[in-house]
Amino acid sequence: MYKRDVVAMILAGGEGRRLDILSAKRAKPAVPFGGKYRIIDFCLSNCVHSGIYCVGVLTQYNPRSLHDHIRIGKPWNLDRMEGGIFLLQPYISDAATDWYRGTADAIYQNLDFLREKKPQLVLILSGDHIYKMDYRPLLRFHMEKQADLTISVIAVPWEEAHRFGVLIADEEGRIVDFEEKPRYPRSNLVNMGIYVFTLEVLEEEVEYEARREGTSFDFGRDVIPRMVRTRRVFAFPFEGYWKDVGTLDAYWKANMELLESPPPLDLYDERWPIYTPVEDRPPVKLGANASVERSILGSGTIVEGRVVNSVLFSGVWVKKGAVVCDSVVMSDTVVEEGAVVHRAILDKAIVVGERAVVGYGEDWTPNRKFPDMLQSGLTVVGKNTRIPPGVLIGRNCRIGPDLDYEDFRDTLVPSGESIERESGGN
């Protein structure tokens, strides 16, 4: 199959509510991951390793960070005359265009782009998953089965299946039943959000959906269940590492898994590197009394204290006597002298004041406002927040972005509590 026969369309416009304040100022695929990358780097790298050099990225919510990251696609060798990368933002015109109402609507509003490229096959990808995958066997499988739609599928633990589209396939691999996020799953084989369509079938299906009243215009809820009844829809089994990092717990666990020996996802495999823009940062620096155990340190990081089982991004500074343990700390965050960060996610450019503690005590009361989101003892702090010296922040706490000293009225933030800037603040 020639390169020009396939166009990849990456759905990167989701609001990302389950990632809460990590996606408050950026699209979910732009959320940093693994000490160096953004989530979208994985499917972009997969595309170029698979020989797919025409890629459309469909953005919508908070797109600036994602656009700044991708630019003209040079790190992925997508800055080219033939093919290349295209940032496809929704727009208003005299035609029937508007904000994307769902995943299928995002494709529908970009049919002109696909018709201009004239691919034989369209590979549709979710931009918010962590995995390495060669798409070429999937594309060959689709052609061999003469499928109208092929869905890449993976078996997940039964207790997680309700979060996904669940399917049942026969011995040939043809999908005979599909249900989106069932309360009581009848299978643990789930939709990975990776689809192969022939262009003609894709056009017909999304145009039909556009004429139908009451639709949510979503592949999982509307298009796929109908196609299972009316078309040849097949399941392509995938057995590698794949993570939907759409929740705070899943995001934190996926970062922690990188620290295992050996890790389930090998970022050091020279045969399948994950590409990302390179920052002009100095080397990592360790102080005279620094201690680092089983951790990832991004470029420009300075450690003078102790770091244990943590992922630190570029430019993080852990000062003397400070401890960071079981945590994800994003770029340019400073942990001042004597401060402690335990089982937490800290976004960019945070200052943890001297002797402050993030992740304090043994009280694991779930967050009162968001009990489903924060109940495992994980505390999350939003971008640009400054935590005053000596403040103790408990477990399952949600500390909003852009907070300053005056927003912390007490020296103790009990477990399960949230702090947000009051309405009217800048």
Instruction: Compute φ and ψ for 399, nearest 5 degrees.
Output: -110, 115
How many whole angstroms separate alpha carbon 97 and alpha carbon 263? 44
Burial (CB count <10 Å: 0-12, 13-18, 19+), residue 240: exposed
Is 100 marked within a binding site? yes
Please report the domains of the chain, with CATH numbers, ordered by start residue. 6-258 (3.90.550.10), 285-419 (2.160.10.10)
Is 181 marked within a binding site? yes
Select from 407, 346, 356, 332 the least CA-distant residue to 378.
346
Q: What sign for the dihedral angle of Cα 332, 29, 241, 75?
A: negative
Predicted TM-score (pTM) of this structure:
0.92
DSSP for residue 174:
B
Contact between 54 and 8 (Cβ < 8 Å):
yes
Contact between 46 and 135 (Cβ < 8 Å):
yes
Instruction: List the pLDDT tens digit at each of the 426 positions of the chain.
Output: 545 699 999 998 666 577 888 988 888 899 999 999 999 999 999 999 999 999 999 987 777 888 889 888 989 989 887 789 999 887 555 445 456 778 999 999 999 999 999 999 999 999 989 999 999 999 999 999 999 999 999 999 999 999 899 999 999 999 999 999 999 999 999 999 999 999 999 999 999 998 888 788 899 999 999 999 999 999 999 999 999 998 999 999 999 999 999 999 999 999 999 999 988 999 999 999 999 999 999 999 999 999 999 999 999 999 999 999 999 999 999 999 999 999 999 999 999 999 999 999 999 999 999 999 999 999 999 999 999 999 999 999 999 999 999 999 999 999 999 999 865 433
What six digits make up the tokens of 391? 């403040």
Q: Is the peptide bond before 263 cis (omega within 30 degrees of 0)?
A: no
Strand partners, 380: 345, 398
DSSP for residue 262:
S
Strand partners, 387: 352
Burial (CB count <10 Å: 0-12, 13-18, 19+), residue 386: middle
Burial (CB count <10 Å: 0-12, 13-18, 19+), residue 117: middle
